[in-house]
Structure 1
Amino acid sequence: MIPIVDLTRYSLSVSEGDAPTHTLKKLADEICSAMKNVGFVYIINHGIPEEMVTEIFALSKTFFNKPVEVKRNFARPVDDSNGWIDLEKEKLNPDRPFCDLREAYNMRPTRNSTMPEDIFPEFTKSFKDFFMICENLTWRLLDLLAIGLDIDRDYLRQCHQKMGKEQNNTTLRANYYPPIRATDVKEGQARSGEHSDYGSITLLFQDDIGRLEIKAQNGDYMPVKPIEGAIVMNLGDMMERWTADSLKATKHRVLLPVDENVQKRSRQSFAFFVQPDDDVMITCLDKSNRYPPISSLDYLKQKFATIYK
């Protein structure tokens, strides 16, 4: 079962200094326990307005519904991860025979070459605003992780201080899974193949379609059912490595729906992939040297090389 953590007393609507120490410790222990045992947690009462989430989903769908010829003008360059990504251009699980049946759009505020500002200015503004509020929530979650790990409280935040700027690859991604017909699908194909995320943490906003599944300790996959107003937070590989496997980056996937009625509906999600600053050296916090040091940027480059086809 995926734990639920209520962030009411440390939400974005509460001044950081107003949260009592015992409250922060309780929240930190709850989050770290979830990350140790499951790798996923639902965050409720976080302070990101639901109307803001609704708006970004609607604008995103408007963009993805535009003709391919239009979207292609904003495609991801070969030397960058930002921009539009067409169907069957990524393979998150290299062991699957075919690329994933999903579109995506990656965005960082400092990389504007693929932003559709001329044809869709409200899309660009909403993306940037949503990026910033996710960043604000991330500061608090990194604070709680540091408290739960019993390390210098400022350490993780200092390692991510360039979020939203150059020298940091934190990315907001819109995922779009178009309606499908059985004849569109290749044998063994998935919406998103089995994988774990690459960075520190991920904040996921999903619609009511569901279909996200995580790998349980017994090896079976279980659903991450949508909870209204909740953010799904999960750990990335880099944080697992950083904590010498104390915290867990859990594999997850999105399979194709079996129900024909669901197949006729599109699915959407937003992921805020949090990365340490490019030059941060990921060295085991417990000094165990379980993994050799590697820079955040070099680790990310290694991962990207396996998924873009």
Structure 2
Amino acid sequence: MSETAKIPIIDFKTYGLDVENEGSISDEDLEKLGNEMCQALKEIGFCYLNNHGIPDEQVRLALESSKQFFNQTVDEKKKCAKPDDGYFGWIGLERERLNPNRPAGDYKEAYGMIPECGDKHFLRKCHSCIGQKGNISNIRSIFYPALTSKKDTIQGQVRCGEHSDYGTLTLLIQDNIGGLEVKMREGEYEPAPPIPGTIVVNIGDLMQRWTADKLIATKHRVLIPSEVRKKMVDRQSLAFFVNPDEDVTIHCLDNSNKYDPITSRDYLNMRFYEKF
């Protein structure tokens, strides 16, 4: 494990997507990899994964397709708008406010969708329905439009307000613009810059609850850049929000009963509607 900007980089080659035979992976290698990830998520709540197996070209095409959608007119995008009582679809500029204490909505758009996944072994046990009915794990394409001299923002407005994620964990792909900041244990925000070929991983509040606070869901944000050069360009990211199946009841794994049991569905519904 090495560190960049105080966030560990973990070599995931042992268990990357290009590993064809899971049976060929030794218990010792898996234990070593698991310990590295747990240590990072316990101390910081974030890490980078290197050698994860997703081709760079696939990432490039996904970001390109995403930008084509966001560059359409508002009227066209409204045809795909998220319903008020739903999770998925287009969310317009400044519609969300992830930190309710900020004076205005986040300066971003987003589009959420359910991933196509017919492999029930993609994640196991409590996540067996990913990509199917009964699980709201989703891919979200996020678009932060460039700020021109003609566009005024409200003082204190940000691109994405301070927040922790809600579910089990998040896999995040950034473009090369940067801007993500992570709150360290000391209380200061540190940059999580884009590192070519890596995926950022962080856990969510439900995982923190599940582990009775052994693993920490860390707050993070994206501010509006102070540099004019960075303000004048779009920023993009792709996030895969992993959540347990809706009917799974979350108990503290150490049997401490630090938190009352709650179903994944009830917890996520409670959290999701806080941000609108």
TM-score (norm 1): 0.85
Q: Does 1:163 align with 2:169?
A: no
Q: Does 1:201 align with 2:207?
A: no
Q: Which residue of 2 aligns with 1:37?
A: 43
1:172 Cα deviation (Å)?
Answer: 0.3
Q: Does 1:271 align with 2:239?
A: yes
- Whether the aligned pair in 1 keeps the contact of 2:167 and 2:204 (CA below 8 Å) is yes
- Whether the aligned pair in 1 keeps the contact of 2:122 and 2:128 (CA below 8 Å) is no
Q: Which residue of 2 aligns with 1:151?
A: none
- Whether the aligned pair in 2 keeps the contact of 1:12 and 1:136 (CA below 8 Å) is no
Return the letter of the residue paired with 2:163. Answer: H
2-side partners of 1:49 and 1:42: how far apart?
16
- Whether the aligned pair in 2 keeps the contact of 1:12 and 1:137 (CA below 8 Å) is no
5 Å-filtered alignment, 1:1-309, equals 1-14=6-19, 15-109=21-115, 128=116, 132=117, 139=123, 157-181=124-148, 183-308=151-276
1:136 Cα deviation (Å)?
Answer: 9.1
1:301 Cα deviation (Å)?
Answer: 0.7
Return the letter of the residue paired with 1:75. Answer: A
Return the letter of the residue paired with 2:203. Answer: L
1:181 Cα deviation (Å)?
Answer: 2.9
2-side partners of 1:11 and 1:88: how far apart?
36
Superposition RMSD in Å: 1.5
- Whether the aligned pair in 2 keeps the contact of 1:92 and 1:193 (CA below 8 Å) is yes
In structure 1, runs of 5+ residues without a counterpart are 110-127, 140-156
Q: Deviations over 1:94-142 (max 9, x none)?
A: 1111110100000015xxxxxxxxxxxxxxxxxx4xxx49x89963xxx
Q: Which residue of 1 aligns with 2:3?
A: none
TM-score (norm 2): 0.95
1-side partners of 2:263 and 2:103: how far apart?
31
2-side partners of 1:106 and 1:262: how far apart?
26
Q: Taking every aligned residue pair, what percent have the same amino acid on both sides?
A: 49
Higher helix proportion (structure 1 or 2): 1
Q: Secondary structure at the match of 2:237?
A: strand
After TM superposition, the structure 1 stretch with the greater mean CA deviation from structure 2, 184-193 or 239-248, is 184-193
1:184 Cα deviation (Å)?
Answer: 2.4
- Whether the aligned pair in 2 keeps the contact of 1:204 and 1:232 (CA below 8 Å) is yes
Distance 1:171 1:55, change over 3 A: same
In structure 2, runs of 5+ residues without a counterpart are 1-5
Q: Which residue of 2 aligns with 1:150?
A: none
